[in-house]
Chain A
Amino acid sequence: MLWACLCRSAGPCPADAAGESRPWVGSAARELLAAWAYRYSSQVGIGYDDAVVLEIEASLRLFGPWPAFERRLRADLEALGIACRIAVAPNPRAAWVLAGVHDGLAIVHEARLETALSRIPVAHARLEPKQAQALQAMGLRRLGQLFAAPRDALGKRFGPALLQHLDRLRGAPEALQAYAPPDRFDLRFELEWDVDGTQPLLFPLRRLVNALAAFLAGRDGGVQRFVLRLEHDGHPDTEVVVGMLAAERDPALLFELARSRLERLGDGARRAVPAPVRGLRLVADELPPFVPAAPALFEARPAQSLPWPALRERLRARLGGEAVYRLAAHDDHRPERAWRRVDAAAAPTRRAPPATPAAPRPAWLLHQPVPLRSRGFATLAGPERIESGWWDGGDLRRDYYLVETGEGQRAWVFRPTGDADAPPMLHGWFA
């Protein structure tokens, strides 16, 4: 077993000294780290209060060797906005202690572990502060001196906890609290000052969405609907719901959808954000399994092409959920009922479509028939009688004709059956 420790402790962390922004603090950061680390290892330990350890020996086959794996971890951490020190050791506790002092140290062999641990100052050896002080006062400044000190005497003075710690550092078995990914995602971003308008919210939004995407990738899932809560001071929260037709987890796509919803909130109704925003919170309850679309092996389309589901979501985000749909023929003689809207994401039905009528049908159908206005027309075909619907209240009796107007347009018109003098009603265009 080989363990890597990702540590963002209050110890000597260079990123902190440089004043780097740390958007995630406290347990939220650890949760996020663990959720993200879960994609690289099945054993993620969260027992240490400021760090996350993960078993990497099994993962090295896929992501290794270690330098490549480490680069990958660091690139991910940078994208998440978390500064971490990383150390590797044959047991989790040693990795934790090493990460408290070193960054990028990897010790693979047990033999070298003891030497490396011996050099760790007692003050940074993750001991209880009181004990560490007492040990230093006794002149024991390095872990090596502790290892060499008589065991019985140490046990008598400092209790079994210290001995256990020292044993575990050198490979005694330890039961770690393992991370189990939760079934819901809830992350809050505290803004440093009140924010008015949606534009300044985009940066924290990107952070939140990246965290969500990392979480989703870790549990190999997708998200179908999530809620953005804008927290105000002395006002109820504003909720922005982002829904999709299919589960997604691509951070760029999620961000763009959330952004367009957020921007619509800004300009749609005046002052839709009632008060300055204090904090931003992202809650996702619906986390269905994610089924990635398998693209064809030899895709003729350009590389930067956006797949149709992503394009559809983009269109729906701006135009409204009902704006994109398909049509299907419906088995009814009445033109008004001979079609159905099909939900954009619905799977194609296996049912055979109804037979097409023998008589020609126009490509365009007017939603409402209007009187045909034309200087004279010639009848090309018809009449075709459509008489149906006496049982469901949508009763109609019409004679349909295909006519050509003086301008050369082909129109589909009807007259009520038995009324040859009635003005022809235009119902469609043979465009």
Chain B
Amino acid sequence: MAAQVLSLDAMLAERRLWRGQPVARPRNANPTGHAALDALLPEGGWPEAALTELLCAADGLGELRLVLPTLARLTQAAQPVALVAPPYLPFPDGWRQAGVDLAHLHVVEAAPRDALWAAEQCLRAGCLGAVLAWPRAADDRALRRLQVAADGGRTPGFVFRALREAANPSPAALRIAVEGGTPPRLRVLKCRGGNPPARALPVPALAPAAG
């Protein structure tokens, strides 16, 4: 067999070889509002019509800061957002400083046994821009129901749970752990559409307006 050595450049110049262009990623319609986090996620933002799990080591580590830009964007576009069984009172001044329009922020108080039901109803209804839920006790099956409801209602859902749940399997499309420390760090444990990145990211600092 006569092997013929061809120059790659020559072939390219003769248009006999076609170079695949790097495909521009489709712009995600639901960016997180944090450029560093968007770059880390395979979809370039929150998964649409799916569940995102935020596993927090403690309160006040910046877990809400991850979603507040998204909520601000949604509520300013007059899309309602529901908080199902929040652990504390959402303090209006704090949320307004983050840019959230309170007219479209709805609080749904629910006893622990009703919280999952309420979250599922909100996700399934399909009329909300996003649903945030704090279920006290949620197992794999309950989360699967939420995931199916989010898919059926085409609504992004955010479930906040304790970090110790990271060991348990979950059907959520995206799992992010928020670990304590100075500064707190976040780690993507699972993400649909790609391998979870190995490196951790510092939790975004408080918004400039807030300090």
Q: What residues of chain A have their CB less than 8 Å away from a CB belonging to chain B?
A: 301-302, 304-308, 310-312, 314-315, 318-319, 322-330, 335, 338-339, 344, 348, 353, 356-357, 360-367, 380-381, 402, 404-411, 428-431
Contacts and interface: CB of A to CB of B under 8 A. Distances in A.
B154 to A, nearest CB: 5
B106 interface: yes
Given A308-B80, A326-B105, A431 B92 contact: no
A177 to B, nearest CB: 46
Contacts of B153: 302, 305
Given A327-B90, A361-B210, 10 more contacts: A324-B106, A324-B107, A360-B206, A365-B91, A367-B88, A406-B182, A409-B59, A409-B184, A410-B60, A431-B62
Nearest to B83: A327
8 contacts: A308-B128, A311-B127, A323-B110, A361-B91, A362-B94, A363-B94, A407-B181, A428-B94
Contact of B103 (A326, A356, A363, A410): A326
B180 interface: yes
B58 interface: yes
A166 B96 CA distance: 78
B87 interface: yes
Interface stretch (B8-16, B33-41, B63-71): B63-71
Contacts of B90: 327, 363-365
Interface of B: 57-65, 68, 80, 86-98, 102-103, 105-111, 114, 117-118, 121-122, 124-128, 153-154, 180-184, 206, 210-211
A302 B154 contact: yes
Top 5 A-B residue pairs of the complex, sorted by shortest distance between their CB atoms: A305-B126, A429-B60, A409-B60, A364-B88, A365-B91
B28 to A, nearest CB: 16
B211 A402 contact: yes
A322 B111 CA distance: 13
Contacts of A411: 60
Contacts of B86: 364
A409 to B, nearest CB: 4
